[in-house]
Structure formats: structure tokens, C-alpha cells
Amino acid sequence: SFKELYGFSQEQSREAVEIYRERYKVKGIYECSLYDGVESTIKELKNRGYKIGLASSKPEKSCEIILKHFGIYDLFDEVVGATFDGKIDTKEEVLNELLRRWKDTDKDDICLIGDTIYDVEGANKVGIETIVVSYGFGNVEKMLEEGAKCSCDSMMELLTLFKGEENE
């Protein structure tokens, strides 16, 4: 991103990433908040018998820290993220790792809920459906064009959608 968005050289980008990571480890990791209804929605989906996983391009250790910070780590059956060694880096690689860990779960029973084009592209590459949310970082129109099944504007709408899935 530093190269693409700010015209940094390779060397400048490396240095910027190191500075970013240094700050992120102690402060930045806590400068986020949950969207309204996230915890209650996850709890409700768990109560309905859904398996809940997190598949993030953030480092897996950071994901665990953030989820524990918000007191929701225990709601997840699996947390998968990128690795610091670069072996798991892209959304596709993260999703493949989730699929490896959930080898007993049919891909047709897995749906990624995402908010970026990278979520949709990664899910497409591994053969799982995507539902996108409009309150994240991505362009909903582009995500739908790339093959997302549908979009939701709130966690309540998401719950309603999954209720409909149960009845099909």
C-alpha cells in the first residue's frame, strides 16, 4: 500500500511497515471498535448451531489479541490469520488454511461475510460463497459484480438472512 498509494520506494515501504508494526503492537491494535450488533449476532448464530470462524489478512496473533480485548474470542470456533513468515498472506491463503482446519466441513456449508473486494476474490478462488456488508471498507457494487451472493446493511439484516437460510 505504501508503494501504490504514496509512491514510496521498496526501501521506504519496508521502513514504513516496520514503523507501522512497531506502533500497532502497542497502541494501534486497540484503536478499533466492534460494529453495532457484532457480539449479539455472533452469539445468536452460535445459538442457532452455526460454526463461527474468523479469516483475516491481519496476523493471526493480532486477531486473537483483538478478539480477547473485546471479550469475544471464546465465541469463535476457529481464528485464522496471516503468518509473520509470509507463508499465509493473502485472503485466499487464509481461507485455504481455514478449510484445512475445517476439513470435515463441506465447502457448500461455509460462507464468508466480508467487507472488501479481497474477501470476495479470495472466497471465489477457494470456492465458497460471500455475503458482503455495506458498513465496512469496500465498494458494495464492485463486490456484487465480483460474485458476492448479496449484501447486508446491518447485523440485524444479516441475522434475518441466515434465518431464511435455515428454512430453505
pLDDT of residue 1: 86
d(CA 136, CA 92): 19
Query: Averaging pLDDT over each range in 13-22, 23-32, 89-98, which range is the top one?
Result: 89-98
User: For residue 168, is pLDDT > 50?
Assistant: no
Average pLDDT, the chain: 93
pLDDT digits (tens, 9 = 90+) for 98-154: 999 999 999 999 999 999 999 999 999 999 999 999 988 889 999 999 999 999 999
User: For residue 30, is pLDDT > 80?
Assistant: yes
d(CA 168, CA 152): 19
Q: Which residues on neighbouring strands pair with residue 133, listed in sequence order?
A: 152
Give the burial class of 119: count Cβ atoms within 10 A of its Cβ; 0-12 exposed, 13-18 middle, 19 or more buried. Answer: buried
